Amino acid sequence: TRLLWLGSAVEVLLDFSYPLALNFLLRFARDESIPKTEGLVCATVLFLSISLQVVVNVNVDIAVESLGLRIRCTMTTAIFRKVLLLRQDSLQRFSSGTLNNMITSDADKVRRALKSLHDVLILAPLTILISLVGLVHLMGAAVWVSFSYVGLVIMVNPVLMWLMGKMQDKLQSRTDERVRKTTEVISAIQVIKCHAWEEPSTAKVEESRRLELLTMWRLFCAHTAMEGLWSSVVPITTAIMFAAYSMFNPDYPLTAAQAFTASMLLEMLEEPLFTIPSVVNKVMEALVSAKRLERLFFLPEACLPSLENLASFCGDREADGPRLGGPDAAGDPVTELDDAAEVGFDMASFVWARASQQEGEEETEEAAQASETEGSEAGRGPASEFRLADVSFRVQTGALVAVVGATASGKTSLLQAVLGEMPTAPGAEQGQALVRRNRPIAFSPQQPWIFNGTVRQNILFGEAYAEQRYAECLRCCDLEKDLALLKHGDQTKVGEKGIALSGGQKARVCLARAAYRQCVSGLFILDDPYSALDSHVARKIHEDAVQGLLAKKTRLVATNRLEFVSSCDMVIVLEGGCIEALGKYEEVRKGSASLRGLLAAQGLEAGEEGDAPSSKVMPTKPLERSRQKRALSSATAEPQEEE
């Protein structure tokens, strides 16, 4: 950076060698008494200075562009890193179009502004100073009279900059809206074509584009007015200066050397005068972009155990040794979780809050629809919050735990709380949510996530290929027959979002991806892994993968397939965001009316109506919290002994 600024200063000094040499040559041509050798020396110096100026300019431009590229790469990397670490509730505040604009547009605007700062900090002040000194030496007090017009322009400029800043904010919002609607149309193009919705869909995109162009036109009008105002500075100032010189010095007529040199200095003064508003405009755009990026960078991050082992993300943290922490914790180690336990929640509460509106930014339509969906599924209004209240349970290492309940009872939310994705409810600081974080967590989501690659790439997901372990995962997840039907086997490209695979195949690929991490992961969280599978495939996967391949791992499985619940070490029954009962399957079946109703609805044996609840079954209603805490130790899940 120091060399860049030094080169810029040398560049300015070389620029002024041309008007000085021109002034001497004009005086040399007028005065015959000056020796010819001085004229030849002046011409040689002029040639050498211009040649050296070209060399310095090229190197300064290369350095400036290199600095700008480094700035943009740094900003883009920081955005990608932050998006990877964000919680789900934080991601709802930004649509995919907004994030895309941050990477492509906002980062570039910050780059252009920071790259141009040396123009304002070094080039412009030094050029203006030397030009004014030269003009005062040539024209005297007439220079200050001519600069009255410059002062008028400077007074009007802040008003224009304020208007342009407001227009720039509005333009960014219009662009985000246009990108969001375009993305929606492209992602749903098959449905639009099927129902012949091309015209209304196109009308929505065109309307957003029309509003964006209208805002852009107004911004360009303001920019043109400012450019025109600054472009008039040099000619008007020159006319005023020459007129004032003639009035102040009637006995000393203006010579050609003075006029040409003053015109040359004014032209050199024109560049920084044009540069300053341009750089200020870039800085205003960068400030708007910086505010948008600031809202992203200050969002809360998820405390994901798997990221603790990535040195590039968490290089200042220790990755070795046992590490415990709550899902919403800042990473401070705690010691309340015993060595035999993997997960321990004690009166912990979590909440999915409605995505709040950002400062100066309207809530996205996607976030509003998501909030309405959550509220309707939970039986509340669109502005309501889904809450997990007073959750208490403990999972021993190596246990198989089933999380069951009716629709919208909070099964997925409980798994998200264990992952660290669900934020802690306000005022629930007394509760504890502890998860062992010394090893990564393997997670299989309810909606399988498949990227555009081969089947093998989706399963390995960056892990090293181990043939025996890979073949065992394929067998346990019942993928061998499916791969045999594909033309290229596991090297078949699955397409964007796994379009070449069926729903069941995508679910099993996602499950195989989690199972392949059996050597590095200690906790496996499976969110409804059997929903897209038929009965015999689901049973095979449950027996071979969940109970077989992962038998020695801690498994937390949310499911609606209750025929597999009896083989689990512990069953957690959720009702309305609260744990209705937990414990061994037989005791929970007798003591939980919700579980008996679900079993009856699926045609499974529901048990006798008169069975009394076991002492090991713990109701967790708010009125019975004290009983729950006393009985918590007796409900700890123990792994079933292998026969």
Q: Whole-prediction pTM value? A: 0.61
Give the DSSP H or E segment for 237.
Answer: helix 233-248
Tokens of 622: 């708010």
Residue 408 sits in the same domain as residue 555 = yes
Report the C-alpha gap between 354 and 246 in whole angstroms.
72
Residue 288 sits in the same domain as residue 189 = yes
pLDDT score recorded for residue 294: 86
pLDDT score recorded for residue 572: 92
Boundary (domain end) residue, out of 255, 276, 298: 298
Exposure string over 328-361, b if 16+ CB within 10 A, otherwise e:
bbeeeeeeebeeebbbbbbbbbbbbebbeebeeb
Tokens of 184: 């929606």
Most distant pair of Cα atoms in the chain: their distance: 127
Boundary (domain end) residue, out of 298, 324, 347: 298
- Beta strand 432-436 with 324-325 is antiparallel
Average pLDDT over residues 394-403: 91
Residue 525 in any domain: the answer is: yes
Residue 367 in any domain: the answer is: no
DSSP readout, 523-582? Answer: EEEEESTTTTS-HHHHHHHIIIIIIIITTTSEEEEE-S-GGGGGGSSEEEEEETTEEEEE
Render pLDDT for 451-490 as a digit per residue (tens, 0 to 9).
888 999 999 988 889 999 999 999 999 899 888 988 888 8
Residue 281 sits in the same domain as residue 422 = no
Residue 336 in any domain: the answer is: no
Top-confidence residue, 17 or 299: 299
Render pLDDT for 227-238 as a digit per residue (tens, 0 to 9).
888 778 778 888
Render pLDDT for 174-206 as a digit per residue (tens, 0 to 9).
888 888 889 889 888 888 988 888 898 999 999
Residue 167 sits in the same domain as residue 279 = yes
Q: What are phi and psi of 57, to 5 degrees?
A: -60, -45
What CATH number corresponds to the domain at position 422? Answer: 3.40.50.300
Average pLDDT over residues 341-353: 83
- Of the listed ranges 30-44, 329-343, 610-624, the one predicted with least confidence: 610-624
Residue 319 in any domain: the answer is: no
Angle (deg, nearest 10), helices 17-30 and 256-297: 170
Exposure string over 523-558, b if 16+ CB within 10 A, otherwise e:
bbbbbbbbbbbeeebbebbbebbbbebbeebbbbbb
Render pLDDT for 16-73 as a digit per residue (tens, 0 to 9).
777 777 777 777 777 777 777 877 887 787 788 778 878 887 887 788 788 888 888 8
Report the C-alpha gap between 486 and 493 in whole angstroms.
10
Strand-pairing partners, residue 452, are: none
Name the residue among 640, 579, 584, 638 with its Cα closest to residue 615.
584
Given a cut of 60, is residue 365 above it in pLDDT?
no
Check the CA dihedral 327-332-335-338 and report its sign.
positive
pLDDT score recorded for residue 468: 92
Q: How far does Cα 220 stand from its chain's mean position?
A: 29
Spatial contact of 513 and 444, defined as CB atoms under 8 Å apart: yes
Structural domain for 491, as ranges: 388-602
Residue 285 in any domain: the answer is: yes
Residue 324 in any domain: the answer is: no
Residue 57 sits in the same domain as residue 163 = yes
DSSP readout, 423-455? Answer: PBPTT-TTSEEEEE-SSPEEEE-SS----SSBH
Q: What are phi and psi of 105, to 5 degrees?
A: -105, -55
What CATH number corresponds to the domain at position 212? Answer: 1.20.1560.10
Tokens of 472: 């065992």
Residue 592 in any domain: the answer is: yes
Given the structure tokens 């512990």, which residue do they identify? Answer: 570
Given a cut of 50, is residue 172 above it in pLDDT?
yes
Given a cut of 70, is residue 305 above it in pLDDT?
no
Residue 253 in any domain: the answer is: yes
Residue 256 sits in the same domain as residue 151 = yes
Tokens of 63: 């350095």
pLDDT score recorded for residue 470: 92
User: What percentage of the chain has pLDDT greater than the value 70?
Assistant: 81
Render pLDDT for 71-120 as a digit per residue (tens, 0 to 9).
888 888 888 888 888 877 777 777 777 777 788 888 888 888 877 776 67
Confidence of residue 526 (pLDDT cuts 50, 70, 90): very high
Tokens of 518: 């059996």
As for how many domains the chain has, the answer is 2
